[in-house]
Structure 1
Amino acid sequence: MRYIFLLFLAQLSLFASPVSSKIIELDTENETAKINIDKIDVGMSGYVVHHISPEHSSILKSCVVESFDVNTHTAMIKMKEFELLQNNALPSGKWKVTVGDSVELATSYSRSLLIAPNEEVYYQVSKSVETQWIHPDIFATLLSINGHPTPLKEDFGAFSSSTATGLVFIYLEKKLYTVDMKSFKILAISDTPLIQDSVKLPFYSRMEKIDASWFGEGSSEMESYEPHYYELLVENNKHNKVLYNIVKNSKNEEVSSLVDQFEIGE
């Protein structure tokens, strides 16, 4: 078992350090930009930085890697408004993204959240993976404030912004999924055959109950563990062939039924 986790630690180290590159091409109409980079994973998130002077810079956009060309060593990023430090009481500049601006990726990947079905699985994984774990009690508290006993992708994104947490690890059917918390794109899937003899919904935490809103998405109590998190993964990774095969071959009928949601070509 330790051998499995040592392999996983080596894989995790690929995501631990921030990555920086300059914009070499820009499409302002489609909010995309191209960067030169030796290797990058589709789905990694970050932001675009404009350097006003050698001593001053400003974050202009959030961004996510949309594609990577292994032959040209270039990646295409998709940009959107950066809202993390938004403050209407402060003046904002009128700078626009230009060629030469910096793209900073994986800036919060040293901090992680673990979604596990029970305490034993949580203990095994958290003790074996070297990262700064943000305790799931904090995420459960946010869900309770939002009235979401069933976590939504938006809840993970809000948690990422409020705690500067970049990765979420999700344990499902003896596999551990490494997921960018903002884009919810899968960065890695690792075989992690731990014994799972119980499930705590919506995930292991020390909170006995998460408050629910009167209505709205996420306000219903979660009925089953694997189907919900697989559904979140499928919704945001419809072209992932590895996930497709895992879902297709799942012995859980609620999980295998999600296979029709993929957009996998012939």
Structure 2
Amino acid sequence: MKRILLILSVFLAYAFGAEFNMPQYETTLINVSQGTGEITDSPTIAVGSSGVVMHNFGSGASSIIARAVVTQKSAGKAQVRFEVFDMLSQKALPLPKILPASGDKVILNFLYDRALIVAPNAEIYEQVCKAFPGITFIHPDLGGAYLSYNRKPNPSRDDFRKICAQNSTGLIFIAMDGEGVFADCGSFKPLRSFKSGKVAYYQLPFYSRVGEIKTLIWDFTNGPISDYDKHYRYLLGLDSDEK
């Protein structure tokens, strides 16, 4: 027990010495071509940053018509890829059929004040929450409940995207051995990383109070993860093969 407490204190001593600050950035589409657009670049956005495209219908009425993801930055301009925005979708309402056009507003770093949190144990979960007081972290019980209900002990990118959408969250923070990473919850591209200490012990697939997440008896392709760090580095694309 003393050894575990010592390792945890070392993790805290190393963890997250820098602040996370990616404020919301508003700009307009300069031009649009074949599902992509160009905007003025900003140091507050990164490749992988995501947001929404707002269309003005006149008379003070506007609506989100698409999702935008930054794909590259060069010479003062940034390229964005358009995707369907389904975070607020309802079965009773149709998706907007208006395509993004020059002059539409783009809001990037959208919902970056809210984050899912994936931590290997309760102590590190608490440390991360204290290290970034400007972020509202969604309690991992909500993610654990989603995985338990859907019998998914091996969470994928799509699982986390759905959890983010259900909780109006733009970021995911994943704490691993030696490193903590903020990633965009849609693109899953790492945005900021922070050096940390060693992890003393793991709860799989991540810390929550939900308990064991079981799979269906006949599902032989979705077993529990065996290596926490390897699994989440894989999802983040930090290893050679991306999922």
Matches within 5 A, 1:177-216: 177-193=181-197, 195-213=198-216, 214-215=218-219
Closer, same or farther in 2 for the Cα pair 1:206/1:94, shift >3 Å?
Answer: closer
Closer, same or farther in 2 for the Cα pair 1:87/1:115, shift >3 Å?
Answer: closer
Q: Is 1:21 the counterpart of 2:27 in the alignment?
A: yes
**More relative contact order in 1 or in 2 (CA 8 Å, sep 6+)?**
2
Match of 2:131 among 100, 109, 128: 128
Q: Is 1:64 the counterpart of 2:69 in the alignment?
A: yes
Q: Work out the percentage of aligned pairs sharing the same amino acid.
A: 31
* Aligned match of 2:160: 156
Report the AA paired with residue 43 of structure 1.
G
Matches within 5 A, 1:39-54: 39=43, 40-54=45-59
Report the AA paired with residue 46 of structure 2.
D
Shift of 1:95: 2.7
Shift of 1:142: 0.8
Deviations along 1:144-191, whole A, 9 cap, x unmatched? 122111110001110111101111111122111111111100001111
Shift of 1:89: 2.8
* Aligned match of 2:119: 116
Asked whether the 8 Å contact 1:68–1:75 carries over to 2, the reply is yes
Report the TM-score when normalising by structure 2: 0.86
Tell me the distance in 2 between the aligned counterparts of 1:7 and 1:210. Answer: 33
Match of 2:149 among 137, 142, 145: 145
* Aligned match of 2:81: 78
Tell me the distance in 1 between the aligned counterparts of 2:143 and 2:36. Answer: 32
Asked whether the 8 Å contact 1:45–1:106 carries over to 2, the reply is yes
* Aligned match of 2:172: 168
* Aligned match of 2:90: 87
Closer, same or farther in 2 for the Cα pair 1:21/1:53, shift >3 Å?
Answer: same
* Aligned match of 2:18: 8
Shift of 1:124: 1.6
Q: Which runs of 4+ in 1 moved over 3 A?
A: 1-7, 90-94
Tell me the distance in 2 between the aligned counterparts of 1:87 and 1:216. Answer: 33
Closer, same or farther in 2 for the Cα pair 1:90/1:203, shift >3 Å?
Answer: closer
CA root-mean-square deviation: 2.1
Report the AA paired with residue 58 of structure 2.
S
Tell me the distance in 1 between the aligned counterparts of 2:170 and 2:93. Answer: 26
Deviations along 1:120-158, whole A, 9 cap, x unmatched? 211222112121111001001111122111110001110
Tell me the distance in 1 between the aligned counterparts of 2:211 and 2:112. Answer: 29
Tell me the secondary structure at the aligned position of residue 66 of structure 1.
Answer: strand
Deviations along 1:210-244, whole A, 9 cap, x unmatched? 23234275x3111121111111112xxxxxxxx4x
